[in-house]
Amino acid sequence: MAFTLPAGRRIAIAGAGSIGGYAGGCLALAGLPVTLLLRPALATALAGGLHLSDLDGVDRVLSPDALHLETEPAIAFADAGLILVTVKATDTDAMAALIATHAPADALIVSLQNGIGNADRLKAHLPGRQVLAGMVPFNVARPTESHFHRATTGEVMIADTVPGLAEMLNVPGWKVIAHPDMVSVQWGKLLLNLNNALNALSGLPLAQQLGDRRWRRLLAAQQRETLTLLRQAGIRPARLGRISPTWLPFLLDLPDFLFRRLAGAMLRIDPLARSSMWEDLQKHRPTEIDALQGHVLALADKLGGEAPVCRRVHTLVKQAEHSGLGVPSLSAVSAWRR
C-alpha cells in the first residue's frame, strides 16, 4: 500500500535552513501541506515570501500566505505525519529529542543529512518509530536570506522501504527516487563531500576551487584513502553520477584542460555555489567535519588503517573553527604544507 499523509497531517521540515528551506518550498509549491520549523531570524526574513531558483533557470516565488512557518517545535510537530530532518549532523541528537517530545508516535521520519549514521542516531533516540535514511546530492546557495538557489545537480535518494513515499515527494525542482542500499549511497556522497572542507579552507567559489588541479589533487588523495578503507571494510560506494567512485581520483588528477573537457558535461556548478562548511566557518558556527573526514578517520581507527591527508584536512578545519576568525582562505600549496 502506497504511503499517503493521514487526513489533517502535514510534512514538517525539521531544520529549515538552506536544504530544508529549498525542499519545503518545492513541496509547498506542489500543493503539499508543509510546515517549516525554523529559527526566528529566518522566519522574519521569509515574512515577505520564499524565493526559489536553480541553475536551470527556473525562478519561482512562494507568497507569504502560502507559507506555514513555525519557530516552536511543539507546534510544528503537533500534526506531523512525515518529518524531514535537515539539520546539521551536529544537531541530530537535539532534534531527535524534540521529535520524541512533540511529534506523534506514528510520524514517519526521514534523515536528509550529510554524513554516515544520522538515521541510526535518530533511531537510537526514537525507539519504536520508523526512521529512513536519505541523501541530498546538491548544494543550495543563499543569495539573500529569503532566496534559496539550487546551485548543483542531482537526485535526492531515500530508502526504498516505504512504497510510494519517493513518488509523493518527487515534485518539480526536488526530484526524489528510492534506493535499496542507502549505506552505499551515503558513502558515495561522502566521497564527494570530502571537498566541503577544502572549499571552506580555500574561501573560493566551488567552480573556481574545483577548477584548480592543486585543490583537486588534495580531494583525490582523500578519496583514495577512503576508497582503500572501504575496500577493507567490504563497502562498495554507490555511483551518484556518470563516473564510478573508483575512477573519481583519476579524473580529479587530470590537468586542468582535460578535467574541464571531461567533467564539464558531468558536473554543473553555479558560480554562486560554495560548500555549507564554508558558510559555517564564515558565520563562526561548528562545522560537520566530524561527520565527514571524522567518519573516515573513525573507520581507519577501527580497521587499523591510515588516512593522513583526511587527518590533516580535519585538523585544519578544527583549527579554523577554534580560531573564530572565519574562513582562513588558504592556498592549496599552504594546505599541503600544513
Q: Which pTM was predicted?
A: 0.93
How many domains are there within the chain?
Answer: 2
Does residue 5 form part of some domain? no
Q: In this structure, is residue 37 part of a structural domain?
A: yes
Whole-number pLDDT of residue 134: 98
Place of cell 536553480: 54
- Residue 298: alpha-carbon gap to chain centroid: 20
325 occurs within a structural domain: yes
Whether 166 and 18 share a structural domain: yes
* Alpha helices in 57-181, H assignment, sequence order: 73-76, 92-102, 118-125, 165-169
- The domain boundary residue, chosen from 117, 147, 180: 180
Examine the fold and report which residue of 126, 160, 180 is the final residue of a domain before the chain moves on: 180
CA distance 245 to 232: 16
Q: Which run of H or E residues covers position 177?
A: strand 176-179
Distance (Å, whole) CA 242 – CA 153: 12
Whose cell is 510544528? That residue is 76
Clarify whether residues 296 and 251 are in a common domain. yes
Q: What is the mean pLDDT of each run of 10 residues along the chain (338 residues)?
A: 90 96 97 97 95 94 95 98 97 97 97 95 97 95 94 94 97 97 96 97 94 96 98 95 91 92 72 91 95 97 97 97 95 81
Q: Is residue 256, in this structure, part of any structural domain at all?
A: yes
**All cell numbers assigned to 24:** 519545503
Q: Any idea what DSSP says for residue 174?
A: B
Q: Indicate if 146 and 216 belong to the same structural domain.
A: no
106 and 203 share one domain: no
CATH number at residue 114: 3.40.50.720
The whole-number pLDDT of residue 149 equals: 95
- Residue 3 counted as domain residue: no
Q: Which of 118, 153, 180 is the last residue in one of the domains?
A: 180
In a domain, 165, yes or no: yes
* Domain region containing 278: 185-337
Is residue 38 included in any domain, yes or no? Answer: yes
The CA distance from 125 to 14, in Å, is 15
Please check whether residues 166 and 33 belong to one and the same domain: yes
CATH code for position 323 = 1.10.1040.10
Residues 142 and 221 reside in one and the same domain: no
DSSP-assigned beta bridge partners for residue 133: 111
SS3 content of the chain, % helix, strand, coil (to 5): 50, 15, 35
Do 74 and 223 lie in one domain? The reply is no
Contact (CB, 8 A) for 275 and 210: no
Domain co-membership, 220 together with 167:
no
- Could you tell me if 190 and 325 lie in one domain? yes
Whether 42 and 150 map to the same domain: the answer is yes
Instruction: With respect to residue 234, please indicate whether it lies within any of the assigned structural domains.
Output: yes
Per-residue confidence (pLDDT) for residue 269, from 0 to 100? 84
Same domain, 137 and 190: no
| 189 and 176 belong to one structural domain | no
Rounded Cα–Cα distance for residues 81 and 109 (Å): 9
C-beta of residue 133 within 8 angstroms of C-beta of residue 111: yes
